[in-house]
Structure 1
């Protein structure tokens, strides 16, 4: 309050000369004092606005960087249609987008400067560009997420549209009246040009509103199509998968070469059956791309007109001050990049047409395929509302039929409109094709041979998935898919697990699988946990790490080797050992190894205890056995790890009971390393099956990612697979279903020879 009175005194002092004038009423001076005070308060309230502007710029930058990440990802995998991987429609992205488009949401802040107006309208254009960019990400969602995100986006778009309409009515999307008064003394020509510019801003805002509403209808229309089309793609994928299984059965053993061909086959199935590619090739996506490019052209034209205007008005004069420039340039870059991506996307549909019939079908835009209306048709024949009253049931069902019929007609109208718009990119694409064909013929006439890409063999085409039989993917597109998968394998081949390979040097024909847990050791009363691959490895490595006479560098290298081996063991267990009784054992092993590797402890006991300095190798084993025996009754992971340690230590004591005093720590370390290498080698014989499993991902949205993960795994482990391919015992080869389980291995290896 003190500040208020000081301010009032300052204004009173400034206006005191006016009070001395007899011809000025005191009421007018009081009103002027009140106006000055309100203006001062308004100025204070607007002080944080540049900071808010930078917050808007930061949100816009996040959207821009996500778009750039998707562009880089598309270039890396030779996907000119740029799938949405990092910038997708979800709760986080919608929140960031809502912040990025705050300027058009502001109903009260005047934006009198040229750049202010450009930035406000540019934010709406940026919103349209982002909506178009995000459209393929709808195909990555399940039904529930699709409905939720469409509703959330719809609320944001409707709010934005309503706010823009209000500002069109109030004049906030044009120069304000105070600007007109300020420029009044500069001549009528200036006022006229400002009026024209103001009118152009209103027309631009109305155009953007229409584009936003059209894009929202395209989103809803695409979502209804995606639900049905993904089912069709899934059925085609399952048929191709059956063919792939039949070919694999005929091929026999899973060698590295066989696995490479299998990964390529599934790469083609995942690439051509990508739900995002399906969405990009749809009529709605092509229409949204045309809308996007049109928006860019409109925004670019206004920007050029502004920059070329010699008699510029105030660049920025809003409360956001200098931050408006940062917002403008970031969003302008985003609009430009988005338009470039859309230009590439709307040329993509022609790459899916290698026949005259395919082009003719696009030109026949009045035909609407069943996938666009199938979901609405299903809803029409299902009762969406139940009531206890028979009369109400009839009324609601008739209303349901009427409403869904109108929606179906609207859906068809939107699809036909989009297909009509789609003719534009088709004509442009055909022009470029004719241009390149003429160029090719001209070069041929002069004897210049163009490099030709090798065509995929015809048996590859049986793995191509396509929604429409008359739109076949050309060989060039298949070539890029194959090369992308092959490149992933080749790049991974340069990243062989060298540390694990050093450990596998100690491999001795799986003897350690038979020796690590003797059948002579009796289970603890009432406790009998199944073995997984990782727990024996971790338990044996724990004993090895506690041997204090081993050189520290040797132990450090040993830890790194085991850690790298456990990475691949985990892949085998997650893919092939995912039974409930084994999952708890695997989690216990993972927690125990974290404790050993990071904290150098085993179930809370320090492995570098000073007491170990005076213990022999067997005394250390006995110490572990005693501790484990006391903890086997514990519940959870402690009991699981204790049971494993008790059995393994008793096995070691039984194995060396005759020369127990002569066993050195170096000899015990060598023996433990060999057993670990044997267990890891036996586990890693399952890598071919893991790769096959990764190729066939059940979720359609994750198939491409899973295939590339399989390609990377194949490249990294090709040397290991080649080393172990002929070492599996014959009894296990005849029982491939038992290969993923260590207890089955031990049973086969300890069974008497027939």
Structure 2
């Protein structure tokens, strides 16, 4: 279910249709087995019902993902503007600790508004995890008490391999259930501070998509003025109204389950929080004066995230900073230190001024350098390694700045060209090692490359 947060509108529909086809097909197969083999009826009906219920909750979550993303984007922009205004009021000269605290504000905003995290901590996702975990535990306990033993290996033409397949699938299912139980536990801890009145409130983002579909019926209605057109419009209106009612029921039931199950985990959560507050370091970046909790982005109706979770976000950022310090791009740093930018800046600018894609410019210049004569193999390898480290950083910056994806094709061409240069030492199918052996100096190489280009 959290993977829904990483999909856009064009990806959600085919993925949900694919999952629905799979679930309905399996359910149909189970129904056929129930009709043919009556002794499996009690064993197979309940799992099929639970599977269909999980599908309904998954569709319910998918219908609200797009609206959640738009709401989070708007909240992020508002909070980002507020953070910038605060920074303008502060002094221009900052210490390293001040810069780090400022960076943490944006880190907390980005982490708390991550769509996958928002979906995972939602009530529908938590309720689905709770139902799946409870059913799996009860079903497993019943099978153990009944002394159920799989006899598939004795009847199957594949022999004992089916037994191992069942065991491997059971292990995977068990891991999935453990992850689902942890997801429910975390969401239940979040809702410990939720009031009872908020439990029975349906936020607009849950039904906004269905409401938009229902309201767009009149705008897109093209059938002529006859009774069939009226009946068709009424039928579509009734179907979408029914779907909105089902969506509201799913959300209400999910909220109720998570709210009352939260009382079960409250003692464990309090004990766990006490242990964390006792042993955790207080100087991990979430100091009280910065008040990073107010930069946590929440949807309407969501419970406040625990302070310990905010501290863990900052701790994760610190760990990433430490990894960056330990794994510096040493080859790139060495190249930048040895390069004389001032003497060659004008020539480079005139060479690549027609392009806005940095990576393509770098790939082109590196291809020229690799083709130059009197360059040792060690120098070539060091140059390629340095540029490879730098391109990883440049691609991130380019993708971030290219908000409208205007340079997507150019960036893709740069990536393909760089793979050819790095692996095969070729530039647009020209061997950079052998094609210019007759050239005596760099000017001839550049001229030859220009002619071939």
| Short-chain TM bin | 0.7 to 0.9
Residue 381 of structure 1 corresponds to 215
Residue 3 of structure 1 corresponds to none
- Distance in 2 between the 1:515 and 1:418 partners? 64
- Distance in 2 between the 1:153 and 1:397 partners? 29
Alignment of 1:146 onto 2:17: no
Q: 2:111 aligns with which of 257, 271, 274?
A: 271
Q: 1:557 aligns with which of 382, 400, 417?
A: 382
Change beyond 3 A, Cα 1:354–1:506? same
- Distance in 2 between the 1:397 and 1:218 partners? 27
Q: Tell me the alpha carbon deviations over residues 549-584 of structure 1, each in whole angstroms, 9 at most, x when there is no partner.
A: x55434543444444445545555555589969975
Runs of at least 5 residues in structure 2 that lack an aligned partner in the other structure: none
Change beyond 3 A, Cα 1:511–1:218? same
Residue 474 of structure 1 corresponds to 306
- Distance in 1 between the 2:299 and 2:320 partners? 27
Residue 220 of structure 1 corresponds to 59
Residue 419 of structure 1 corresponds to 255
Quick check: 1:268–1:478 contact (8 Å CA) kept in 2? yes
Quick check: 1:530–1:581 contact (8 Å CA) kept in 2? no
SS of the equivalent of 2:441 reads helix
Residue 395 of structure 1 corresponds to 231
Alignment of 1:321 onto 2:142: no
Quick check: 1:289–1:342 contact (8 Å CA) kept in 2? yes
Q: 1:464 aligns with which of 288, 296, 311?
A: 296
Provide the TM-score with structure 1 as the length reference: 0.51
SS of the equivalent of 1:163 reads helix
Residue 407 of structure 1 corresponds to 243
- Distance in 2 between the 1:573 and 1:370 partners? 36
Q: By how many angstroms is 1:344 displaced?
A: 0.8
Residue 130 of structure 2 corresponds to 290
Q: How many residues align?
A: 442
Alignment of 1:90-489 (within 5 A): 135-171=1-37, 174=39, 201-249=40-88, 252=92, 260-305=100-145, 307=147, 316-319=153-156, 320-353=158-191, 355=193, 358-361=194-197, 364=199, 366-383=200-217, 385-433=221-269, 450-454=278-282, 455-457=286-288, 458-468=290-300, 471-489=303-321
Q: By how many angstroms is 1:387 displaced?
A: 0.4
Q: By how many angstroms is 1:589 displaced?
A: 9.9
Provide the TM-score with structure 2 as the length reference: 0.81
- Distance in 1 between the 2:293 and 2:230 partners? 51
- Distance in 1 between the 2:79 and 2:252 partners? 32
Change beyond 3 A, Cα 1:577–1:514? farther
Q: By how many angstroms is 1:466 displaced?
A: 0.7
Quick check: 2:202–2:252 contact (8 Å CA) kept in 1? yes
Change beyond 3 A, Cα 1:539–1:268? closer
Quick check: 1:466–1:472 contact (8 Å CA) kept in 2? yes
Residue 343 of structure 2 corresponds to 511
Alignment of 1:538-617 (within 5 A): 538-539=364-365, 542=368, 546-548=372-374, 551-572=376-397, 575=400, 587=413, 591=417, 594-595=420-421, 598-599=424-425, 604=430, 607=433, 612=438
Q: Which moved more, 1:380-389 or 1:555-564?
A: 555-564
Q: By how many angstroms is 1:326 displaced?
A: 0.9
- Distance in 1 between the 2:10 and 2:366 partners? 47
Change beyond 3 A, Cα 1:238–1:516? closer
- Distance in 1 between the 2:152 and 2:408 partners? 68
- Distance in 2 between the 1:584 and 1:313 partners? 57
Quick check: 2:331–2:386 contact (8 Å CA) kept in 1? yes
- Distance in 2 between the 1:148 and 1:509 partners? 50
Q: Tell me the alpha carbon deviations over residues 104-137 of structure 1, each in whole angstroms, 9 at most, x when there is no partner.
A: xxxxxxxxxxxxxxxxxxxxxxxxxxxxxxx222
Change beyond 3 A, Cα 1:513–1:476? same
- Distance in 2 between the 1:459 and 1:321 partners? 62
